[in-house]
Structure 1
Amino acid sequence: MTTSVLPLLLLHIFILSSMGSHGHGHGDGGAENREHYMVVETSSLLKPKAICSGLKGLLNVRLIRVHEYMRAAMPSSNGTWVALHRPYGPCSPSPTTTSPPSLVDMLRWDKLHTDAIRRKATAGGDVVLEPDKPIVDVQQSDYKMQASFGIGTGGRSGSSSSSSRISRPSAIDDPILAQPMSIDTSIDLPWIQCAPCPMPECYPQQNALFDPRRSRTSAAVPCGSAACGELGRYGAGCSNNQCQYFVDYGDGRATSGTYMVDALTLNPSTVVMNFRFGCSHAVRGNFSASTSGTMSLGGGRQSLLSQTAATFGNAFSYCVPDPSSSGFLSLGGPADGGGAGRFARTPLVRNPSIIPTLYLVRLRGIEVGGRRLNVPPVVFAGGAVMDSSVIITQLPPTAYRALRLAFRSAMAAYPRVAGGRAGLDTCYDFVRFTSVTVPAVSLVFDGGAVVRLDAMGVMVEGCLAFVPTPGDFALGFIGNVQQQTHEVLYDVGGGSVGFRRGAC
């Protein structure tokens, strides 16, 4: 041990001893420290492991083609599931050839994305970009979840069904290449790039484009149909009696094309017939080359949830994996089938002034090291969006300042990086430490749900993984850094959101 490290370690021990002697008074200091502090390897806070550890609690599933899916879990009695992965992680079935975006790029994209959601949240429609406004070239996030879906059927003859759930006659069909798609709960309309899709109107994706002309079950939604009329703000008129769609994310990205129906394969035993989606022939902005498009799970009529609710139930859940693991998306309820009682639940907020796409919850407080912060609950009145693609949780400034003060106090044993890093203002230099002790941080939701975050949900690349919203009472976000390893249950029919730790 060097003399330069010794004072820091002694200070660290002193701080932990002081905090342990002023806890809740329901146990000895050592047990309380173990409960309210986490000793973690420094490497796990800075760089993910390069080896895939698979699905934790479920059998590992490596997805290359739709026909290679395996039944590895029992979701709710009428549910189904698919595996999720991180695009740059070692569990990705088709790793990208590019380097992952930097933390600076990811947080820059995150701000653009969340600002756009706020702008359109109460507008009742998408934000239309000004034609002369330059498009910001932003990077997609390494934290965005992806899953593989089969769209369309082979060209050979075979039986089909109008039922929303059938057993797939895979023996007589041509193999269907899986379409990797991002999972997004803040958009309603699913879409993928379709041939013909020439550059530069489309982005260069890694896998082959879906060609609806080679699918015997593919058809354009006709103009004048109920499905075309239900597009609402996503409608873009007609062309040759084919319904057209347009999705503007409001953050520099957009997609347009023909509204189609075709078969959606979730796994070998589950096919959704007449699945409606956007067949994109033009995009704007920067999309990840590792995906074919977006599988949207918003609360609107066009989403995967709404289209399958009659079959699987009005609920879904997902588990955001850590960088070295796989996660899952489950339609119909929890992925472990009957484990709904083990979720900490908070009510979904019903706000008629917010577009139905978004899933709102309400925070009531924050705990750091077992202590509830002195934050008036009223500052959380704006609500928070549960979002699968937002990276960092955004808190009201009053709550964020209280969290930062408590966190810095608990981490006083470690040298802080002056000025922060990548827009995060509380970062640490762990170069001289092989392990660090991080205070437990828990989010307290309306209804009494207390969600304790893992260490990777507290810090990202050595920094406190939270940022403030533009102001108190502003719309906040619960990001997927904080959701990591939790199964998040969107029980839309039951009006609640649930959280279960250690699910993936």
Structure 2
Amino acid sequence: MMCSLVVILLLSISSSVASHGAGAGSQRYHVVKTSHLEPESLCSGLKVAPSAEGTWVPLHRPFGPCSPSAGRAPAPTLLEMLRWDQVRTEYVRRKASGGAEDVLNPAKPRVLMSQTDFAVRSPFGVGSGSGSSAWIDADGDPTVVSQQTMAIDTTVDVPWIQCAPCPIPQCYPQRDPLFDPTTSSTAAAVRCGSPACRSLGPYGNGCSNRSANAECRYLIEYSDDRATAGTYMTDTLTISGTTAVRNFRFGCSHAVRGRFSDLTAGTMSLGGGAQSLLAQTARSLGNAFSYCVPQASASGFLSIGGPATTNSTTVFATTPLVRSAINPSLYLVRLQGIVVAGRRLGIPPVAFSAGAVMDSSAVITQLPPTAYRALRRAFRNAMRAYPRSGATGTLDTCYDFLGLTNVRVPAVSLVFGGGAVVVLDPPAVMIGGCLAFTATSSDLALGFIGNVQQQTHEVLYDVAAGGVGFRRGAC
């Protein structure tokens, strides 16, 4: 019986998204129930079944009713999510600029957070042993796997999980049993000096000793001073119980610094570097992946190897994919305009010249100040019938809907390079009674397309073709 590595993937999310295509942006207002602007308490499941064009796993919100861990931990407040989002995106922005601080805002305050991440989850696995379950692989052979829960991150390259031995407080407590590589017949440490070890680049952390059989070590540092370190190794990654990725390289963590969520065993990385899940499956499954970040009460999916379409005629609204010369791990797009209540705002094109990161884990879309001020002005004008309330964290346009059953929300669309138009549903426009956008420090700062705006779209990262696509209503 073969022992293999399986993992449960995760994405970071928070609210909802909607449409694209011909005529997008023509609708001026949505009349919605105020209850529909808040998360629901019942799981509605997957709306569209992904096809076999790629191998796929389901995605769930970490605190939503569709999550396997629903009810095990209190849901975070909006303010906690915004604080974490600020720290994380500032860290990604520094990486994109080669570590340089924003020259217009060099003295950023340190943000204290009571939570560590808000990533989404899905099923994969690792090795065998405690908590293991038997799957049948693509060859029809029984495979023993230890279920794990992992976070998906499209800005990081090296996948990693906590591995035994990993005593607390050297490691953090997790809900899933620790993966024990000694119980897996296919697990092996990467040798120091090997091409795989050298490919770690800045993630390399030397060797276990000076012998010829020395093991390769890795180190990944995150925002807010968190880090993970351990042995770089290989094992068989099993995706959804049907696809085996043999000799899959990942970090086997034996020590962490800082706080990580006990709902996850590590991170499955989908960045553009040579160590990511995408790079390791590009030849066998195709150099593309897609995901659909669901609303809190629904299930989404992650598809490796291509779009999880229901038929071959499904159309994605596509924009060119831009890669960062300093940090090629990031996926960038060009936002070119915003439509509010059927009218395109008069934003100078130069305001969008810094580009924006397509990020599975960013919560709120961050716009250049020039663009954000134009959006805020148009939105406030369209919402002038409703009383304003105080700001929530970085969200400065909030409303008091107490006692109201229905609300008239202006339609908002994002216009990308190449003509792709993404029309947002009301829960993707407003979160917690606030306009779900914020401003970067300057028009020269890199922006982010957050998962609040990506929700319910299948977002396709077609790296082979150099494009990012959006398909409406996929989850």
Tell me whether the two structures share a fold, i.e. TM-score over 0.5: yes
**1: CA distance, partners of 2:271 / 2:78:** 27
Q: Which residue of the partner structure matches residue 364 of structure 1?
A: 336
**2: CA distance, partners of 1:345 / 1:134:** 37
**Deviations for 1:419-441, whole angstroms, at most 9, x for unmatched residues?**
32233110011111112111111
Q: Which residue of the partner structure matches residue 217 of structure 1?
A: 186
Amino acid at match of 2:42: I
**Deviations for 1:188-233, whole angstroms, at most 9, x for unmatched residues?**
0000111111111211111111111111111111111110010001
Q: Which residue of the partner structure matches residue 323 of structure 1?
A: 296
Q: CA RMSD in A?
A: 2.2
SS for the counterpart of 1:406 is: helix
Change (3 A) 1:451 1:339: farther
Segments of structure 1 that go 5 or more residues without pairing to the other structure are: 1-26, 59-72, 126-132, 156-164
Q: Which residue of the partner structure matches residue 103 of structure 2?
A: none
Instruction: Confirm whether residue 412 of structure 1 aligns to residue 412 of structure 2.
Output: no
Q: Which residue of the partner structure matches residue 429 of structure 1?
A: 400
Instruction: Confirm whether residue 80 of structure 1 aligns to residue 52 of structure 2.
Output: no
Contact map agreement 1:334 1:340 (CA 8 A) in 2: no
Contact map agreement 2:124 2:241 (CA 8 A) in 1: no
Instruction: Confirm whether residue 105 of structure 1 aligns to residue 97 of structure 2.
Output: no
Select which of 347, 350, 355 maps to 1:383.
Answer: 355
Q: Which residue of the partner structure matches residue 10 of structure 2?
A: none
Q: Which residue of the partner structure matches residue 11 of structure 2?
A: none
Which is bigger in relative contact order (C-alpha 8 A, separation at least 6)?
2
Instruction: Confirm whether residue 336 of structure 1 aligns to residue 309 of structure 2.
Output: yes
Q: Which residue of the partner structure matches residue 226 of structure 2?
A: 253
Change (3 A) 1:98 1:381: same
**2: CA distance, partners of 1:239 / 1:253:** 22
Q: Which residue of the partner structure matches residue 473 of structure 2?
A: 502
Change (3 A) 1:312 1:502: same
Matches within 5 A, 1:10-409: 35-46=27-38, 48-58=39-49, 73-76=50-53, 79-95=54-70, 97-123=72-98, 136-142=112-118, 144-153=119-128, 166-167=138-139, 169-170=141-142, 173-174=143-144, 176-240=145-209, 241-336=214-309, 338-339=311-312, 342-352=315-325, 354-409=326-381
Contact map agreement 1:168 1:270 (CA 8 A) in 2: no
SS for the counterpart of 1:146 is: coil
Change (3 A) 1:333 1:381: same
**2: CA distance, partners of 1:118 / 1:350:** 14
Change (3 A) 1:134 1:211: farther
SS for the counterpart of 2:398 is: coil
Contact map agreement 2:293 2:454 (CA 8 A) in 1: yes
**2: CA distance, partners of 1:421 / 1:340:** 42
**Deviations for 1:362-390, whole angstroms, at most 9, x for unmatched residues?**
10010001110010011110000000001
**Deviations for 1:37-95, whole angstroms, at most 9, x for unmatched residues?**
1111111213x11110000012xxxxxxxxxxxxxx3242xx21111000111111232
Change (3 A) 1:284 1:167: same
Between Structure 1 and Structure 2, the one with more helix by share is 1
Q: Which residue of the partner structure matches residue 423 of structure 2?
A: 452
Question: Which of the pair has more CA radius of gyration?
Answer: 1
Cα deviation, residue 136, structure 1: 4.6
Contact map agreement 1:264 1:273 (CA 8 A) in 2: yes
Cα deviation, residue 408, structure 1: 0.6
Give % identity: 62
Q: Which residue of the partner structure matches residue 9 of structure 1?
A: none
Segments of structure 2 that go 5 or more residues without pairing to the other structure are: 1-22, 101-108, 131-136
Cα deviation, residue 177, structure 1: 3.1
Contact map agreement 1:180 1:291 (CA 8 A) in 2: yes
**2: CA distance, partners of 1:440 / 1:337:** 27
Q: Which residue of the partner structure matches residue 15 of structure 1?
A: none
Contact map agreement 1:101 1:140 (CA 8 A) in 2: no
**Deviations for 1:93-113, whole angstroms, at most 9, x for unmatched residues?**
232522111111111111111
Change (3 A) 1:332 1:338: farther
